Amino acid sequence: MTLWQGILLGLVQGLTEFLPVSSSGHLRVLEVVTGVRAPGVFVEVALHVATLAAVLVVYGRRLVQLLAGAIRGQPAELRLLGLLALATAPAGVIGVLFHRQVEEAATSLVYIGLAFIVTGFMNWSTRGRSGVKREPSVPVAAGIGGAQAVAAVVRGISRSGSTVCAALWGGLDPVAAAEFSFLLSIPVIGGAALVEGRHAGVNIASVGAVPLAVSFALAFVAGLWSIRFLVALLKRGRFYEFAPYNWAIGVLTIAYALWHG
């Protein structure tokens, strides 16, 4: 892996993992347009770990409070853990049982471009929505889990976008919607790293220690920035402003695919 490949992969992974724009879609477009892709499973796992670390930095204290409260048997923390488990289940089942099929799911740029556009309409649909609930009900948590499962199998549908949208549609306060979505990402990203990690051959010399370190650092820093940027937009009720970007990248992706046959 060259240094510029490491820079591109780290930035794209860190930014698109958490912004409502679809990391799987962007990485596929990057691969087709530039020829840059993660050179082996080990690099993919390392980038997943970097983005997971970013979530833990931002939400680590909340996670510790949640787990400590659950261990002490506090009802509120036990309920929230149960809701997170419920929302994690659909994507978890898909990830464990159908990992290879998900990886091989439609990679056509036209298909991905259309999914980008759908993500844009999802994001736009949150315009004017501002709930007051601090946590989802059981049906809303199930709906968030279903939205996450759809994003797991459709390249171009954003995981963070679909879960935040479902949370906002379910009446959650924007900050609570972000917190639930990012807490939900911890088992999903960690699980993906474990599933991929079973097949990862650790050969840093063949990848290049410096490009790998740069890619990891950029994914981590970009992940931190994107989480905080997204939460700030949610607080101001401007989550829908991602929609024009989704539509633009969708149209450009389709145009590129048609132009190049």
Q: Helices (H), strands (E): how many in the chain?
A: 12, 0
**Three-class secondary structure assignment of 124-163:** HCCCCCCCCECCCCHHHHHHHHHHHHHHHHCCCCCHHHHH
Mention every residue, 6+ apart, whose C-beta is less than 8 A from residue 228: 58
C-alpha of 218 from chain center: 16
Work out the pLDDT band at 47, boundaries 50, 70, 90: confident
| Cα–Cα distance for residue pair 213/209, rounded to 1 Å | 6
Q: What average pLDDT score do residues 39-49 get?
A: 77
Closest to 51 measured CA to CA, from 154, 159, 175: 159
Give residue-wise pLDDT tens across range 194-235. Answer: 766 665 555 566 677 788 899 999 999 999 999 999 999 999
In whole angstroms, what is the distance from residue 179 CA to residue 230 CA? 11
pLDDT at 3 over 90: no
- The letter for the amino acid at 46 is A
Query: To which residue do tokens 């969708």 refer?
Result: 250
Please state, rounded to an integer, the average pLDDT across all residues of the chain.
87
Asked if residue 220 lies in contact with residue 51, where contact means CB atoms within 8 angstroms, the answer is: yes
Structurally, the chain folds into a number of domains equal to 1
Residue 98 has pLDDT above 70, yes or no: no
User: Stretch 35-44: mean pLDDT, rounded?
Assistant: 73
Q: What is the DSSP string of 46-108?
A: HHHHHHHHHHHHHHHHHHHHHHHHHHTT-HHHHHHHHHHHHHHHHHHHHHHHSHHHHHTS---
Q: What is the pLDDT of residue 198?
A: 60
Distances (CA, A) of 139 to 57, 171, 173, 180, 246: 30, 12, 16, 14, 28
Range of the structural domain that residue 116 is part of:
3-259
Asked whether the predicted pLDDT for residue 99 surpasses 70, the reply is no
CB of 106 within 8 A of CB of 155? Answer: yes
Q: How confident is the model at residue 65 (pLDDT cuts 50, 70, 90)?
A: very high
Give the largest CA-CA distance in the chain: 60
